[in-house]
Structure 1
Amino acid sequence: MSTININIRIEKSIKEHAEGIFNKLGINMTTAINMFLRTSIRENGIPFDLKLDVPNETTIEAIKEGKKIMEDPTSPRYSSMEDLKSALEI
């Protein structure tokens, strides 16, 4: 089996954090990257889910409620944090 060297750029803190995890697992960075690449080949794709940060149902409902409040001209408005705190009795 012949090998080649590859160079990648990554933030120093990410590399160090990953190395710490791999060391605890008893492997080095090269082994971890080889595992990732071999698994990618075996699965014919990225070996983990790639997802957009989609808000959950609770967050979606909170966004809808916030928009509804903003569109309601009878909703209270505050021009300063002091006015809001006073209204909340903080």
Structure 2
Amino acid sequence: MARTTTKTANVYTRVDPETKEQAEAILNHLGIPMSNAIGMFLKQVIIQRGIPFEMKLPVAKPVSIGELTKEQFDAEMKLGMDDVAAGRVVSAEDVEAEMRRLYSE
């Protein structure tokens, strides 16, 4: 009797319920079963020879004055004054160029 090879393999993973529910809702709208989406991801890992999307830490959120307490505001101002006193300054043109690089797309 000839032995047949298995056409599928099981993958078991744990994710938090909210993530699973949100992903399932989106996949349902796309008409893609969760198992197919996972299979597509794994095929892309093979094709890309790695994770098929960029993974990096988000850019730090700029400080918003309106969200600071008086103590936090005073501490930020002191840090700024200490930088100026120590000569750690950057021109407005350099700041603008960096802001455009980080936030313009």
Letter in 1 for 2:78: M
Q: Aligned pair 1:53/2:58, yes or no?
A: yes
CA distance 1:18–1:68, change in 2 (3 Å): closer
Q: Deviations over 1:29-80 (max 9, x none)?
A: 0000001000111011111110112226xx28x8xxx76612459xxxxxxx
Aligned equivalents of 2:42 and 2:11: distance in 1?
13
Q: How does 1:63-78 map to 2 (within 5 A)?
A: 69-71=77-79, 72=81
Q: Which has the higher contact order (CA 8 A, sep 6+)?
A: 1
Aligned equivalent of 1:35, options 34, 37, 40: 40
Q: Aligned pair 1:17/2:22, yes or no?
A: yes
User: What's 2:69 paired with?
Assistant: none
Unaligned runs of 5+ in 1: 74-90
Report the TM-score when normalising by structure 2: 0.54
Aligned equivalents of 2:39 and 2:48: distance in 1?
14
Instruction: Indicate the RMSD between aligned Cα atoms, in angstroms.
Output: 2.7
User: How many residues are aligned here?
Assistant: 67
Letter in 1 for 2:29: K
Find the residue that maps to 1:17 and give its secondary structure: helix
* Identical positions, percent: 39
Unaligned runs of 5+ in 2: 1-5, 66-73, 83-105
Report the TM-score when normalising by structure 1: 0.62
